[in-house]
Amino acid sequence: MTFTFETYHQHHAPTIYSTLRRRTQEADADDILQDISLSVYQALERGFVPRNPEAWLARIRRNKTIDWFRQTTTRKQHEHHGLLDDETTWLSVIVEDPLLVKEQTNQTRETYEYARDLCNNLPTIQQEAVLLRHYDGLQPSAIAKQLNITSNNARIRIHRGLKTLRETLQT
């Protein structure tokens, strides 16, 4: 089956919009979805054919969401003082703009950089699964579908990635 813009618009855009609404206000979700739709349209017009449309769309959604957070630096500038208190918080910070922590203490900045480096050092398959779970908020079954793997495999990748991060933080 060929992936077309119509397919995207009918089958994938509503799910993407739903994910965006969990993270942003309605107007912001509309703007981000429009950016995503434009990127999809332009790529398809250039003749790009995604091998795994769900994973490709998840990557576009993630990148566009990151871009949106970077553009709204006034939001949540000082909410990340407890970077390592829970996984979700610091994993969200990892993918945001380092300028958000510009005014924070040197220790917080060092922690941020360290956490970002740790996540970047994970094997790609684990990094992808951890970020989809804790940044995008997807359930293992949705991650499995996007990565074209089984749900058990998605859970294992998330578990191993977080275990590696915890072990590294404890040393």
Residue 80: predicted pLDDT: 41
* Tokens matching residue 99: 């300028």
d(CA 162, CA 171): 14
* Tokens matching residue 12: 């994938």
Residue 107: predicted pLDDT: 53
Domains of the chain (ranges plus CATH)?
A: 1-76 (1.10.1740), 84-92+103-171 (1.10.10.10)
What number of CA atoms fall less than 13 Å from residue 35's CA on the CB side?
A: 16
Question: If you average pLDDT over every residue of the chain, what do you get?
Answer: 76
Residue 25: predicted pLDDT: 80
Residue 101: predicted pLDDT: 43
CA angle 50, 30, 34 (to 5 degrees): 40
Does residue 36 carry a pLDDT above 90?
A: yes
CA 151, distance to chain mean position in Å, is 19
pLDDT of 67-114, one tens digit each? 787 776 434 443 443 433 444 444 554 444 444 444 444 555 566 666
pLDDT of 1-16, one tens digit each? 688 999 999 999 999 9
Does residue 41 carry a pLDDT above 90?
A: yes
- Rounded to 10°, the helix 151-170/140-147 angle is 110
